[in-house]
Amino acid sequence: MIRLLNPLDVDEFIRIRLESLKVDPLAFGSAYEEGVDREVTIKRFEQHNEANFIVGYWEGKKLQGIVGFIQHTRPKIKHKGFIWGMYVDSSLRGKGIGRELLVACLEKAKQIEGLQKISLSVTHTQAPALHLYQQIGFQEYGRERCSMLVDGIPCNEIFMDYFL
């Protein structure tokens, strides 16, 4: 089942977020060692609204996939939004769950008045994610070489956008 996360989902979100950082350290700018502050996360969840949300994929009571969205709030860039934190449990990859999550996120974002463009970034090490984003219609507009160093491994970041 796919649905928006709410404040009651904080503990499951923290669990899967930490899992994502541990399983795929080359995919995220945050590090597992940084942890996830529960109180800060609760406050962020309380601020969720039509333009700031997380979509989750659930199997029973276990959160198995996530994707976040936030619209910029400053007047000159309010027409843009950003997708962050896309992750699907490694045991469920290749089953279309990532696509379902991303499509649900985009459909919700399309309801935001004035939104024209959605951006995201993906590291070059995440070929399946890159392929999914391209299939959905995201287009690359730039790259930053060696945007991160993870245990001495350089990761290039690919910037993509999708026009509504």
Please give the residue range of the domain that contains residue 129: 2-163
pLDDT under 50 in the chain at which residues?
none
- Residues with Cβ within 8 Å of 23's Cβ and at least 6 positions away in sequence, in order, are 90
Per-residue tokens: 38: 């529960």
Instruction: Quote the CA–CA distance of 66 and 102 in Å, as a whole number.
Output: 9
Q: Is the dihedral of CA 59, 63, 65, 69 positive or negative?
A: positive
Q: pLDDT value at position 94? A: 93
Q: How many domains does the structure of the chain reveal?
A: 1
From the list 130, 138, 139, the residue with the least C-alpha distance to 109 is: 138
H or E stretch at 84: strand 80-88
> What CATH number has the domain bearing residue 158?
3.40.630.30
